[in-house]
A and B are shown apart, each in its own frame.
Chain A
Amino acid sequence: MKFQVNGSEVFASTGGRPFDKNKPLIIFVHGSGLTHMTWVLQTRYFAFHGYSVLALDLPGHGLSSGESLKSIEEMADWVSDVIDSVGFKEASLVGHSQGCLVTIECAARNPNKIKSLSLMGGAGAIPMNPELLSLAENNDPKAVDLMMDWAHGPAGHFGGHPVPGLYHINTGGMLAKSRTIKNTLGVDFRACDNYKNGFEAAKKIKIPTLSILATGDKMCPVKEGKKLADLIDGSVVEIIDNCGHMMLLEEADRVLKVLKQFILKNYPSK
């Protein structure tokens, strides 16, 4: 659905069901340069099982208008504004990669508004490889190819998409190339590289938090994810083996199973 946030049109997938203000809200925040479509194998479940779902396209990404936000802090405030704009007082947040930085910061800034936090392939900081950052900022499609290479685990490189007929690396690559690379991936990578408040933000989080990490994740390795999780009181860590950074697609069923258990327990729908 499309709606307005701070005067700009925003697109969010509602998971194939009409948006319902009477159901608890879950917001999904995508990773660098990507779109709402990365969440298709998680959002539809929750939308069909008692939740209102918004899988956002960040400003300037996917089907949303405007320009990309330049810092993680701006993105965190924008997610908070999304909650207000759709008439809710609270939400559960789910983030992937850069989306983890955004949701951590948002949860730290809005302790009464965010009720649970689910992080996939997250870390307290995501410093960028300088060459990858330079390629993205210079609009070089090689940046996308590199990201797809590093983001998929050994098994994901062969394929084996859970949806019959889809090929991981090319689908992800096409998502990342759907808008001008320097305006999406380039801006996002710079925002990740600049963000230094992740560990401090984590210390302020007092809500139920889940970290899903993957053994083959080169971009946010398990030890970095655990370092972050250790700073959040009572946080739960689940590790998916034989999988890379794109766990939400590479091992969609296993990720959904863990996410379901966590959200149904900590943020139940009526």
Chain B
Amino acid sequence: MTDKKNKATDPKTYKFDTLSLHAGYQPHKNAGSRQVPIYQTTSYLFDDVDHAAALFNLERGGHIYSRISNPTVAVLEERVASLEGGTAALATSSGMSAIFLTVMTLCEAGDHLVVSSQLYGGTVNLFRLTLPKFGIKCTFVKPRDTEGFKKAIQKNTKGIFGELVGNPGNELMNMPEISKIAHDAGIPLIVDATYQTPYLCRPFEHGADIVVHSLTKWMAGHGSSMAGILVEGGNFDWMQNDKFPTMTTPYEGYHGLSFAEEFGPTAFTMKARAEGMRDFGPCLSPQNAWNVLQGIETLSVRMKKHCSNAEEMVKYLLGHESVAWVSHPSVPDHPDHELAKKLLPNGRGSMIAFGIKGGKDAGVAFINNVKLASHLANVGDTRTLVIHPASGTHSQMDEATLKFAGLSHDMIRLSVGIEDIDDIKNDFEVGFRAAKKPRLVSNQ
């Protein structure tokens, strides 16, 4: 029971649903416009040369050029930072560019990362094939192999990266334990929490130091716009060791600025913007930032429906004769069921992986015959989405890599939407009927 005596001194800072609608924006500074304006501009007038110099020297805040920052995009950045409980954020043109900028802000050639093996296929390729071209090597560890993360850390390791719930097999990283391993080694834990959104999990509360999102997915929800973001927790001490000299020593690219000394809990974001965004340039367009903001306004409402529909679909699939197995953290025999209760108290998410009896051919027939569920390479849309990873998102992997990533040929990845649950089930019945007789049913 709440102690009424303490209520007067309870903080009155805005809560999640209010922040989803308001954070980062002050109408009185924008002609009273209730909606966030779209600042469709490349650049911003300087008052005089002194003002210009002040902005370039980071003497004062403000905008110079929309590759570096933009007022509409800044509202989105603050909004997501507030929802995550972070100090600062930097929005990017996609989730992949958020991961790339995070790595390039953290690492230099010769550095090493420890990475969860169960990731989106594009992320696997970035870590396995592309980053080595920049001299950054990675060791992959299965997400449930907590001790393996510790063993994989080398002298030149600069961080641990993983998806909180791995794509597409729904394996959870034990974030509290892995963050302790990272912090004992003096390195940050970076978590891709795209599947959860801050409504389901705020990774900073479980030891993460940097969170990345593809905002394209549940955060936006509407499937209209590409966007990504990196968010800083502000708790990581970059000065605790000599592993991060570009954060802690004078940086030639900014008049000898030491990001950690000058900006402390926002140092990583400041560096990612001042160096990474300036030099690589994967900026988010103001129109897309605005589109994502529209989605975030209803984030908690949508996530509740996503999760309740997903739990209904789990029950339906578990009882279906055409289904060989179902993977979702809500299933009691899921290996991470208890961990998910702790890390995802508001719902276990709307991503389900299931195996269809009949293997690859049955999977292909199912995918080709559902009509309401959309077959496409995205997740987290308000509409229900399905894909056969082995022939789609992860098709660039060889057999051994597929196996290491926890994939099988009978696996179907389902992103449950917020349609009427009966309509989704009815649609799946059509798919399952076709899967039983794959050669006899048209795929038109």
Contact = CB atoms under 8 A, between A and B. Distances in A.
Interface of A: 11, 13, 16-18, 35, 37, 40-41, 44-45, 48, 62-63, 129, 131-132, 135, 142, 145-146, 148-149, 155, 157-167, 169-171, 174-175, 177-178, 242, 252-253, 256
A63 B273 CA distance: 24
A175 B264 CA distance: 8
B57 A48 contact: yes
A99 to B, nearest CB: 18
Interface string B230-260: 0001110001000000000000001111000
Given A48-B53, A142-B11, A160 B24 contact: yes
B88 A165 contact: yes
A65 B268 CA distance: 24
Nearest to A45: B59
9 contacts: A16-B254, A148-B13, A159-B82, A164-B70, A164-B73, A165-B89, A166-B88, A171-B265, A177-B235
Given A160-B25, A175-B265, A165 B78 contact: yes
Interface in B52-80: 53-54, 57-63, 69-71, 73-75, 77-79
B239 A63 contact: yes
Nearest to B74: A164
Interface in B74-109: 74-75, 77-79, 81-82, 85-91
B266 interface: yes
Contacts of B73: 164
A167 B87 contact: yes
Nearest to B270: A163
A256 B47 CA distance: 15
Contacts of B4: none
Contacts of B155: none
Contacts of A159: 23-26, 75, 78-79, 82
A234 B266 CA distance: 39
B210 to A, nearest CB: 13
Contacts of A45: 54, 59-60
Contact of A165 (B13, B14, B22, B74): B74
Contacts of A131: 6, 8-9
B66 to A, nearest CB: 11
Contacts of B256: 16, 18
Contacts of B54: 45, 48
B26 A155 contact: yes
B422 interface: no
A149 B61 CA distance: 23
Counting chain B CB atoms within 10 Å of each CB, the highest count among A35, A146, A160, A167 belongs to A167
Contacts of A16: 57-58, 254-257, 262
Contact of B9 (A48, A146, A158): A146
Contacts of A177: 235
A162 B62 contact: yes
A48 B266 CA distance: 22
B172 to A, nearest CB: 26
A142 B273 CA distance: 32
B88 A129 contact: no
B345 to A, nearest CB: 20
A163 B61 contact: yes
B234 A165 contact: no
A44 B58 contact: yes
Contact of A149 (B13, B85, B264): B13
A165 to B, nearest CB: 4
A17 B58 CA distance: 12
A161 B78 contact: yes
Interface string B358-379: 0000000000000000000000
B151 interface: no
Contact of A160 (B9, B78, B88): B78
Nearest to B264: A37
B9 A132 contact: yes
Nearest to B234: A174
A23 to B, nearest CB: 16
Given A145-B13, A159-B82, A165 B273 contact: yes
Given A37-B263, A160-B24, A252 B13 contact: no
B269 interface: yes
A160 B71 CA distance: 10
B151 to A, nearest CB: 31
A128 B86 CA distance: 28
